[in-house]
Structure 1
Amino acid sequence: MTAVDLPAVPRVLIAEADPWSRDLLKQVLLNVRCDARLDVCADGQQAATLLREKTYDLILADWELAGVDGLSLLRSVRQQRRSPTLPFILLSSRNDSASVREALPLAPTAYLTHPLNMESLTQRLQDLLLNEGESVYCEIPALAPGMTLPAFLERRREVCDGAPLRVDVKTAVQRSLGPEGLDLQQLEDQVRMDPQITAVLIAAANSAGYHGTPVQTLHAALNKLVPGQSMNLILGLALKHNVVLGDPGLVAYAERHWQLSEDSAEYARRLARMLELDHQRCYSACILHRLGDLALLRCLEDWRQAGGALDDEAIGEALDTFGAAYGSALRTRWRLPLELRQLIAATYSLEGGVYSREALVVNLATQMARLTEHEGLQELASSKTARLLKVGLSELTRVRKA
C-alpha cells in the first residue's frame, strides 16, 4: 500500500509493552501525521481484539508483547490476505539472523530493532502516511464554551506531559556523540539541569522492562538504559507539543523555577559531599522538586494557545493552587521510586520526628536557594535543620561560595 491509497485520515494501531517506548512511537507518528486516529495498547491480546473490531491503515507492534506476541499478530493479519497488503511494522529487540528469517516469510513492511533509529522510523512513516512533498497541519482546538481556567487545569492535571524543556536536546545529544558512540558522562553533564529529562529517564529506567534496585538518579538511569534508548527518549521529548514556551510571561516564571531547581540542586550536592552523603540522590530530588510548577506552566501555554486569557495574576494564582498537585500527580503516574518521592517532599517540609540526613540536606539546600543575594545565612545557620545536620555559618558560607 502506498500513501495515495490511504484515507484522508489514517487509523493506526500501536502495540508496545513498555510505556516510554509506546509514548515515543506515538510522538514520532503524530509528528508525521498529527491528524492520525491512534489506538494504543500495551499487550497483544488487546491488540488482537482491536484488529477484529476495527480496520487499520498501519500497524506498529512489538514482537515481545505479552499474551499474543507481535509476530502472531503479523501472522494473523497476513492470513486475512487483504489487498492491498496492510502495512505492518514489526519492532523487536531481536537482531539475530534466525529471528529475521522467522519474520521475513510474513512480509513485514519493516523489521526495526530496539533501540530504534528515529530517523529511519520517521522516514518509513513519511513514506507510508504522506504523499511526496505533502505535509499535514493541525490547528489547536479552541476552548469549549464556558471553560474556565481552574476547570481546564483540573482536567489536565492527570494527563499533562510534564515540564517544558530547558535544554536544547538536539545540541546536547550532538555534543555527546563521539567516534565511539554516545558518551554517557558527557550526556549527563549536558542534561542534568533539565527536570523533564531527568524525570523521564529515571521513570523509564524504573519501568516494567527493567528490574533490580530502584533508580533514583540521572546517572543511574543513563547507565541502566541502553544508550540508544536514552538518546531516543531525550530526542523524543522535543517532538511533543509546547516543550518550548512561547509566552514571555510564562517563560519568565519558568526561568525562575528552573533557576531555583538548579541552585537548590547544586547546594544539595555540595552539602551532601561535605557530609559524605549520597550527593547524586540529593541533587536529583532538588532538580525535580519544581517539576509540577513547570508542568503547570506548560499547560498554561496550552490554555493561551487555545484562546484563553492569561495575565501575571492568573499565572501566580494557578501556580499557588495547582503547582503542588501537578507535581504529585506526575511523580505518581510516572512511578518514580517512593524513596525519591519522599526525598522530594522533604524539600518543602520535614514531617514526623525522625529525618534522614539526606532529607535534612535537601530541605536546607532549598531554603538556601530561596534566599535573595542580599539575605544573609545567619538565620538559616540557626535553624533546626542546620542544627540537626551540625552545619554552621562557616559551612553554609563555603557551600554558597563554592
Structure 2
Amino acid sequence: MAAVVLPAVPRVLIAEADPASRELLEQVLSGVRCDARVDTCGEGQQALDLLAHNSYDLVIADWELPGVDGLAILRGLRQQHRTPPLPFILMSRRNDSASVREVVPLAPMAYLTKPLNRESLTQRLQGLLLSGSEETSHDVPVPGPGLTLVAFLERRRELSEGAPLMTDVQVAVKRCLNPTGLDLKLLEEEIRTDPQITGVLIAAANNAAQHQGGGPVQTVAQALHQLGTGQSMNLILGLTLKRCARLSVPCLADYAKRYWELSLHTAEYARILARLLDLEPERCYCAGLLHRLGDLALLRCLEEWTQAGGELDEWEEVGNSLDQYGAGFGSALRTRWRLPLELRELIAAAYSLGGGVYSREALVMNMAAQMAHLTEHEGLEELARGRTARLLKIGLPELMRLRRK
C-alpha cells in the first residue's frame, strides 16, 4: 500500500467510537504530523456528514462504527471515483482472511487490526505519512533553466521542513535513558537549545492540548509534560530522519551557527531579564530561541538547492536570500505550526515594537534582542538611554550586570 501524499497542512478525519482508541490515534497522529488539522467523531453518520461538508486529505475509520460502518464509508468514497482516491486507513478487530479479501478491492492505504499498539501504530503512521511525503509532497524542485533560486525559495517558503538540527539528538537521548526509562527533565536540558526541536515539540503539544481542552503550551518543559515520554522521543528521533536535518555545505553551516548563537544569546538575555522583573523566564527564553527560526529554515532550503544540483554563490546569494526571505520563512513556519499567538507576539517583539501598548514581556524580548546584537565593547550607554530601557525602567548599572552574567 502506497504512502500518502499530504499537503503542507493536512486535514484528517478520525472516525472511532471507542474514546481510548480515538485519543490514542489523535496523540500518535499529532506526534507524526504535528501540523495536521484533526477532526474526530464517534459514529458513521457523523463521519458521512463531516465528509460531505469538508475536504479531507486522510480518513482513519473503524470498521465497527455504530450506524454506518467504516467499510461502508470506504465503499461509498470509492464509488465517487475521486482521482486520486482519498487516502483511507481502515481499522478492525477482524483479522480473518475473508475480511481481508473483502477490504482489498477497495484499496485502503492500510488495514490495521485491533487492539492498537502505540509503538507499532506510530511506526506504521510514520512509514505511511513521513516516508512518502518526504519524497513526494515535499519533493525538492530540480534546478534547471526554468527554475531560478528565487523561484525555488518562493515555492519552498510554504513547505519548508524548518531549521536544521543544532543538537546531536542520538547523543541527547542516550544521555537521558536510565533503567526506568527516559528522564524528561534531563531530556529538557539536553534539547532546550535547539530551535527546531523546540518548535516541533511545542507545535505537537498544542495540537494535543487543543483536543484535550488544555491551555496553550509555550515552553519545552510544558511540551514534554503534555506529550509524555514515548511521543516526545518518537518526535525528536523522527526529526533526524528528515532530509537536510544536518547542513553539510560549510558556508551554510557557518551561517547557521551564527544565527543559532544569536538566538541563544537573545534567549539567555530574555530569561535573565524576565527573572529580574518577575516575569515568565522560560516563555521568554523560548521566544528568543525561536526568533531566528526562519533564517535557519531558509539555510536548510539553500542546502536542498545545492543537493539538487543548484549553483550558489557562497556569500552574496546566501546573504541576499537571508535578507529577502528569512522573515517570511519564519512567519510561514510559525503560522503553519500554529504556535500560540502569545508566543508569536513575543517573537515579533524581538524584531520591533511597532505602535500601541506593550506588555512587559514584549519589552523584555526587544531589549534582549538588542543586547544580543551588541559587540563586546559597544552600545550599552545608548541602549540604556533608549525607549525600551526607559519603559522597563532599567538603567546602565542593570545592563552592565546583565552583560557580565
TM-score normalised over the length of structure 1: 0.75
Shift of 1:20: 3.5
Partner of 1:21: 31
Letter in 2 for 1:387: R
Q: Residues 229-263 of structure 1, C-alpha deviation per residue, up to 9 Å, x if partnerless?
A: 01100000001000101110100110010000000
Aligned length: 339
2:235 is equivalent to residue 233 of structure 1: yes
Shift of 1:380: 1.0
Letter in 2 for 1:364: M
Q: Residues 358-392 of structure 1, C-alpha deviation per residue, up to 9 Å, x if partnerless?
A: 00001100100011123241111111101111111
- 1:215-230 matched pairs, under 5 angstroms: 215-230=217-232
2:33 counterpart SS class:
helix
Letter in 1 for 2:117: L
Partner of 2:185: 185
Partner of 2:161: 161
C-alpha contact 1:172 1:190 (8 A) present in aligned 2: yes
User: Cα 1:177–1:82, aligned 2, differ >3 Å: closer, same or farther?
Assistant: same
User: Cα 1:275–1:258, aligned 2, differ >3 Å: closer, same or farther?
Assistant: same
Q: Residues 286-337 of structure 1, C-alpha deviation per residue, up to 9 Å, x if partnerless?
A: 0000000100000000111111111210000001111001100000011001
Alpha-carbon separation, structure 1, partners of 2:282 and 2:75: 44
Partner of 2:100: 78
Alpha-carbon separation, structure 2, partners of 1:81 and 1:292: 45
Alpha-carbon separation, structure 1, partners of 2:94 and 2:149: 44
Alpha-carbon separation, structure 1, partners of 2:343 and 2:204: 14
Partner of 2:65: none
Q: Residues 334-369 of structure 1, C-alpha deviation per residue, up to 9 Å, x if partnerless?
A: 100111111110000002231100000011001000
The counterpart of 2:58, out of the listed 35, 41, 49, is 41
User: Cα 1:313–1:389, aligned 2, differ >3 Å: closer, same or farther?
Assistant: same
User: Cα 1:89–1:149, aligned 2, differ >3 Å: closer, same or farther?
Assistant: same
User: Cα 1:270–1:74, aligned 2, differ >3 Å: closer, same or farther?
Assistant: farther
1:70 counterpart SS class:
strand
Partner of 1:248: 250
2:117 counterpart SS class:
strand
- 1:319-334 matched pairs, under 5 angstroms: 319-334=322-337
User: Cα 1:389–1:146, aligned 2, differ >3 Å: closer, same or farther?
Assistant: same
Alpha-carbon separation, structure 1, partners of 2:280 and 2:402: 16
Alpha-carbon separation, structure 1, partners of 2:142 and 2:227: 39
Letter in 2 for 1:272: A
Q: Residues 181-219 of structure 1, C-alpha deviation per residue, up to 9 Å, x if partnerless?
A: 211111111011100000000000111544311111111
User: Cα 1:43–1:117, aligned 2, differ >3 Å: closer, same or farther?
Assistant: closer
Alpha-carbon separation, structure 1, partners of 2:162 and 2:370: 24
Letter in 2 for 1:151: A
Mean CA deviation greater in 39-48 or 331-340: 39-48
Letter in 2 for 1:319: L
Shift of 1:71: 2.9
Q: Residues 72-108 of structure 1, C-alpha deviation per residue, up to 9 Å, x if partnerless?
A: 898996251659x9994638xxxxxxx63xxxxxxxx
Partner of 2:268: 266
C-alpha contact 1:74 1:88 (8 A) present in aligned 2: no
Partner of 1:299: 301
Partner of 1:385: 388
